[in-house]
């Protein structure tokens, strides 16, 4: 299985190292994770040609809102926020999710903040 993070700048992203360490620790030998630096004008080409080789991608600055137009389905959080940070394929459809709010909510809860 093949995964990646897309963004620009992306050179300082630790996602590939972190994911590959997790794959190793969990004895998952058939996965890889890479980072891909794209320009805004390369998004169409990426989703039309390159995305098919990935099982899923993470999205970071500045593309979280720009990738929505390439998705068939987005989750409710992503609809509210207007952006996604995780994209996967499900039944031949490209699906986007936003996990940022969930992570933020868990941070608040873990630190005793109720909202």
Stretch 54-83: mean pLDDT: 95
| 1-15 average pLDDT score | 95
The model's confidence at residue 113, banded by pLDDT at 50, 70 and 90, is confident
Q: Where are the domains of the chain?
A: 2-110
Predicted local confidence at residue 102, as pLDDT: 73
Give the pLDDT score at 72.
Answer: 97
From residue 56, give the alpha-carbon distance in Å to each of 5, 9, 89, 104, 115: 9, 20, 7, 22, 32
CA distances from 45 to 11, 51, 62 (A): 21, 9, 17
- How much of the chain exceeds pLDDT 90, in percent? 82
Q: What is the mean pLDDT of residues 101-113?
A: 78
Q: Is 35 among the residues known to form the active site?
A: no
Contact 28, 54 (CB under 8 A): no
Query: Do residues 87 and 54 lie in contact, with contact meaning Cβ atoms separated by under 8 Å?
Result: no
Is CATH 3.30.70.260 what the domain over 2-110 is classified as, yes or no? no
Q: Which residue in 77, 79, 64, 72 sits closest to 95, CA to CA?
A: 72
- The pair of structure tokens assigned to 26 is 């969990």
One of 2, 12, 25, 64 is an active-site residue; which one?
64
The CA-based dihedral angle spanning residues 90, 51, 41, 5, taken in that order and rounded to the nearest 10 degrees = 90
Summarised one tens digit per residue, pLDDT across range 15-51 is 999 999 999 999 999 999 999 999 999 999 999 999 9
């Amino acid at each position: 299985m093949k995964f990646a993070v897309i963004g620009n700048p992306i050179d300082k992203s630790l996602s590939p190292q972190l994911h590959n360490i997790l794959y190793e620790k969990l004895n998952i030998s058939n996965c890889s994770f890479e980072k891909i630096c794209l320009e805004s004008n390369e998004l169409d080409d990426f989703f039309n040609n390159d995305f098919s080789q990935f099982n899923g991608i993470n999205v970071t600055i500045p593309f979280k809102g720009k990738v929505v137009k390439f998705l068939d389905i987005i989750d409710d959080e992503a609809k509210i926020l207007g952006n996604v940070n995780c994209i996967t394929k499900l039944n031949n459809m490209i699906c986007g999710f936003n996990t940022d709010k969930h992570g933020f909510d868990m941070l608040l809860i873990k630190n005793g903040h109720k909202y």
